[in-house]
Structure 1
Amino acid sequence: MNTRKNSGASGRGKRILMRGFLMAVGAVVVFGFMLSGCSRVSTEPDEVVLHYAGGTFEAKKFERCINPSSGATLLGPGDTAYSYPYGQRTFDFSGSKDAESDPISVVSKDNVEMKVAGSATFTLNTDCKVLRQFHEKIGLKYNAYYEGETSEGWDRMLNFYFKQPLDRAMDAASQEFEWKKLYNDPAAKQQWEERVGELARQFIKETSGGDYFCNPNYAGTGPCGDVVLTIQKPEPPESLVNALAAEQAAKAENAAQAQRNAKIRTELESIRDLAKVLGPQGALLWQAIQSGKVEVIPVPQDGSITIAPQGRNRNSRE
């Protein structure tokens, strides 16, 4: 009897141990499966990452910002990381090989179309709360976050939020000036630049709807500051530039001719004054002497005069 009881207890113990073992193995398998779905993220000095938690079976929700130069951070299964640039960035509209845009066209007050090249330098506002707003409002719409080394979505975003406001600002400012003033007058160009900067910052902020694009020196705290614009002198069509050069050349020639005419008038006045004093023949003789056409020979006291034809020795007597 005791033997059977001991035998039954021993069997139940073995089954309990087996179940515990299977549960442990299952937990290890599940944990391994979970780890296999995890990933690690580390950030570069010029990079900030938004971490969103949530996988296939649960809604995504914002988790945290991962600051620049952060070591490896473990993300859960299904979690997503969105990378954005940290530090100074530039929207280049010079039309060069690596530029984001061609030069911008503007129309002057006198309806001349001109081209303007330049750049807008800024820092993306990486304050965690503001960056999250930017990502959810703009970044996701354009896929503006970085995937690898570059982001086509980032370039599309800049063309909308920088090029279009800049285009509006430059057109509005250029309508206040004639093309010759913009091209040739430094004072007018300075006024135009100030007006463009004022309108561009206003339009960029209005288009984005927030302080997402800050001064290049913005460090994440305090006032966001303004985007810095560097714009070149507006360039009119080549035909107008050539016409302006010809006009300036004609003005220079007219000025030179006026000076020549003034000199001639002065000389004539001088001749008239001489004629009043010396008479017509005396005035002509005076002019001939002054020009070297007539040579004056002093007369010695004894009255003898030696005349030597030009090119002969004056010491020979005739």
Structure 2
Amino acid sequence: MRFRSWKSRVGIVLLVPLGIYLIILGFSSLGSFDRTNGGEVAVVRNGGPLDNHRIRQIIQPASGRVWVGLYSDVHKYPAQQRFYTITANEGQGDRPDQEVVRVPSKDGVEMGIEGTLYFSLNTDPDVLRTFDDKFGTRKFRLLSDGDAYAPYDGDKGWSAFLDTIIRPVIDNDLREQINTFDCAQLVSSCALVQLGANQTVNPVGAGTPPVGSTESSNGNIAAVQKAINESLARDLEATLGAPFLVDLKFNLVRITLPAQVQEAVNKAQAAFAGVSEAQARVAQARADAEANTIRQSGYAACPACAAIDELKAIPPNVTTFAPGAGFAISQP
């Protein structure tokens, strides 16, 4: 009897941890399934206590629920088109502060470049495995809060990766392309400041601002944009080590001048406007003088015409007109 009681107690002692283990295993199994949404792709790494940490599978976008293994790590990356914005408007770009890319033109004028880079992550399984090995195992610091994130840690992690790895390549490409043009070739109003600095005379006329070629500046901006699109794909692949980003397109939105240069441009434009206004008054006076000369010649040839025009010029509120010599006209 005592022997049976002892065996029962031993059985209970063994069954309790076994039951607890089975319960934990059951919950773990429930968490060993995962899926992706339409806009994300996943890299699954082994993560069990007795397992290695190699990549075991790739889950393509919009998948059903699949088995990923016990305690595996699932790294989810964006699979749809993304963009990186550089703008001076605070809160609208990918950095928390007001920022633009500051690069010098060929003639040394610092110019602010604003634009947006559109791209997609290469979801080819082999390329994605390499990407996760190279960047998914690291963390990058986000400027807005100073914390470090992995690229798969949601929007913050992706932004930290772009700002740390991609932004320097964009800056370098913009610097190389902008440095091949003078300021006036990209921003036509630069010619106003350069005219004053060179003390040259405008052949069009003293009151006419120098004619910057708007079509030429627009064409140069388009050339810069095209060159950046061609060089970015090449430079990013060389920098990252593989074509991790595809469908690259950079839109150059705006080129701005430093505050002091823009102020000088505004003053030059105001000065040209004042000169033009004065020239208009001179031209009007000259035209009035010529008209009076012609009119006087006509009156000399036709004295009656002069009298008729004089009568027509009487204001309607005048009832009596007495030009002198005993002559007067009164309205009835």
> What TM-score does the superposition give when structure 1 sets the normalisation length?
0.68
Q: Secondary structure at the match of 2:254?
A: coil
8 Å CA contact 1:48–1:126 kept in 2: the answer is yes
Separation of aligned partners in 1, 2:285 and 2:122: 71
Residue-by-residue CA offset, 1:156-202 (whole Å, 9 max, x unaligned): 21013321111111111111122233223323322222233333333
Alpha carbons of structure 1 residues 287 and 195: separation in structure 2 relative to 1, 3 Å: farther
8 Å contact kept, 1:182–1:233: no
CA contact (8 A) 1:109 1:178 kept: yes
Q: Distance in 2 between matches of 1:134 and 1:70?
A: 21
1:207 corresponds to which residue? Answer: 239
CA contact (8 A) 1:49 1:84 kept: yes
**Does residue 93 of structure 2 align to residue 72 of structure 1?**
no
In structure 2, the residue matched to 1:106 is 103
Task: State the match for 2:187 in structure 1.
Answer: 183
Deviation at 1:23, TM superposition (A): 10
Shift of 1:253: 4.3
Please report the RMSD computed on the Cα atoms of aligned residues, expressed in angstroms: 4.0
Please name the residue that 1:246 is paired with.
267
Deviation at residue 208 of structure 1 after TM alignment: 1.4
Q: Are residue 154 (structure 1) and residue 154 (structure 2) matched?
A: no
Structure with the greater alpha carbon radius of gyration = 1
Name the amino acid aligned to 1:73: V
1:309 pairs with 2:303 = no
Q: 2-side partners of 1:315 and 1:74: how far apart? A: 109
Q: How far apart are 1:133 and its partner, in Å?
A: 0.8
Q: 1:83 to 1:257 in 2, by over 3 A?
A: same
Whole-angstrom distance in 1 between the partners of 2:111 and 2:272: 25
What SS does the aligned partner of 2:137 have? helix
**Alpha-carbon distance, 1:296 to partner:** 4.5
* Deviation for aligned residue 1:35: 3.3
In structure 1, what is the equivalent of residue 49 of structure 2? 56
Deviation at 1:120, TM superposition (A): 0.9
Contact 1:289 1:296 in 2 (8 A): no
Contact 1:183 1:233 in 2 (8 A): no
5+ residue gaps in structure 2?
1-6, 8-12, 140-148, 189-216, 309-320
Contact 2:36 2:61 in 1 (8 A): yes
Percent of aligned positions with the same letter in both sequences? 22
1 CA distance for matches of 2:306 and 2:290?
Answer: 25
With over 3 angstroms needed to count, the CA separation of the structure-2 counterparts of 1:315 and 1:258, relative to structure 1, is closer
Secondary structure (helix, strand or coil) at the match of 1:146 reads coil
Q: How many residues align?
A: 265
Q: Which residue of 2 aligns with 1:7?
A: none
SS in 2 for 1:64: strand
